[in-house]
């Protein structure tokens, strides 16, 4: 990801956890459930970078991602006593943030279509996905994220859930309330769109 999203994310809750720090997450959760805001803040700092990267990729804007992540933190704090401390904290936190993001994404999805993609110059090419996966974390990642954010929401959401959250087709379909075949079709189109937008970097 580019430096800007990383900076935005660090500003969200005051910076990254120091390298080498050893934290018992369960104890932090239990302390937070007893009203310890500092413990909750440390929990957030453990996961904020990964969460921001995921949400920014999903909503296509660092500003909107910042709003979603901030709201997710607030809701997590408000509901921390409902969390079962024997489970991992991040999946619970990311579900809160993901649901908030989709409140906006579903509205956007109603106004976007494949026809609009074609009108904007979408012309898929036959190429394997492998090079795209390398771009997600390589030197060309800034171009990759710009292309990802420009993609219509209904395709971007499937791509992000698959490649950032590692959901399988059944999980994506259940979450988005679409058949697995539709998941496959949208993921295929998302990959083709990215490959077309980034083809000069793949040559």
Question: Going residue by residue through the chain (203 aa), what tens digit of pLDDT does each one get?
Answer: 444 444 433 333 333 444 333 348 889 999 999 999 999 999 999 998 888 888 888 887 778 888 889 999 999 999 999 998 788 899 899 889 988 888 767 665 554 444 443 443 333 333 333 555 555 555 567 788 888 888 888 888 888 888 887 788 888 888 888 888 899 899 989 888 888 888 877 66
Phi and psi (nearest 5°) for 194?
Answer: -65, -40
Task: Please give the CATH architecture assigned to the domain spanning 3-109.
Answer: Orthogonal Bundle (1.10)
102 CB neighbour count, 10 Å cutoff: 19
CA atoms of 1 and 116, how far apart (whole Å): 27
Unique residue bearing structure tokens 């219509």: 152
Structure tokens at 88: 């991992």
Total-model pTM: 0.57
Unique residue bearing structure tokens 């060309």: 140
The set of residues, in sequence order, having a beta carbon less than 8 Å from that of 11 and lying 6+ positions away, is: 66
**Which CATH code, of 1.10.150.20, 1.25.40.20, 1.10.10.10, 2.60.40.1180, is assigned to 114-202?**
1.10.10.10
Q: Which contacts qualify for 13-21: CB closer than 8 Å, 24 or more apart?
A: 13/41, 13/44, 13/45, 13/48, 13/73, 14/41, 14/45, 15/45, 16/45, 16/48, 16/49, 17/42, 17/45, 17/46
Domain map (residue ranges) of the chain: 3-109, 114-202
């Amino acid at each position: 990801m580019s430096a800007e999203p990383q900076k935005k994310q660090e500003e969200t809750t005051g910076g990254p956890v120091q390298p080498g720090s050893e934290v018992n997450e369960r104890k932090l959760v239990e302390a937070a459930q007893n009203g310890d805001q500092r413990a909750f803040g440390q929990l957030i700092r453990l996961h904020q970078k990964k969460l921001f990267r995921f949400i920014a990729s999903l909503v296509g804007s660092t500003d909107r991602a910042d709003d979603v992540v901030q709201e997710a933190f607030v809701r997590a704090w408000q509901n921390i006593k409902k969390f079962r401390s024997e489970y991992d904290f991040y999946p619970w936190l990311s579900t809160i943030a993901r649901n908030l993001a989709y409140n906006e994404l579903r509205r956007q999805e109603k106004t976007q279509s494949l026809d609009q993609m074609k009108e904007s110059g979408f012309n898929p090419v036959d190429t394997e996905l492998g090079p795209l996966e390398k771009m997600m974390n390589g030197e060309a990642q800034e171009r990759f994220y710009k292309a990802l954010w420009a993609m219509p929401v209904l395709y971007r959401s499937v791509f992000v859930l698959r490649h950032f959250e590692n959901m399988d087709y059944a999980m994506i379909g259940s979450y988005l309330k679409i058949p697995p075949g539709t998941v496959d079709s949208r993921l295929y189109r998302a990959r083709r769109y990215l490959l077309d937008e980034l083809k000069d970097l793949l040559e």
